[in-house]
Amino acid sequence: MLRHRTVGQIEADLLALRSAAERAGLALACVFSSAAEYEADIARARRASRRFGRARHLWPVLGSFIVMVVLVTTFLLF
């Protein structure tokens, strides 16, 4: 059914729509002033969670040592 609205109601709706659009725009605003600041914050968070930087595992060192022992043993036997 078609409703008839007054000019005052239409103006109030437009004002509400305009203020909602402004609030939505502010909600989407970025807290970082530049991409460099954003990347620095990501790196800081990764460092804090210890997911950034060199991995300190024993397996690569142990694997290299085993390969070296096998090669030296093979060379000495033949």
Identify whether the C-beta of residue 55 lies closer than 8 Å to the C-beta of residue 61.
no
- Which among 58, 27, 32 is positioned nearest to 45, based on CA atoms? 32
Give the mean pLDDT per block of 10 residues along the chain (78 residues): 79 90 71 81 83 66 88 85
pLDDT of residue 68: 92
Region for residue 70 given its phi and psi (left: phi exceeds 0; alpha: psi -120 to 50; beta: otherwise) = alpha
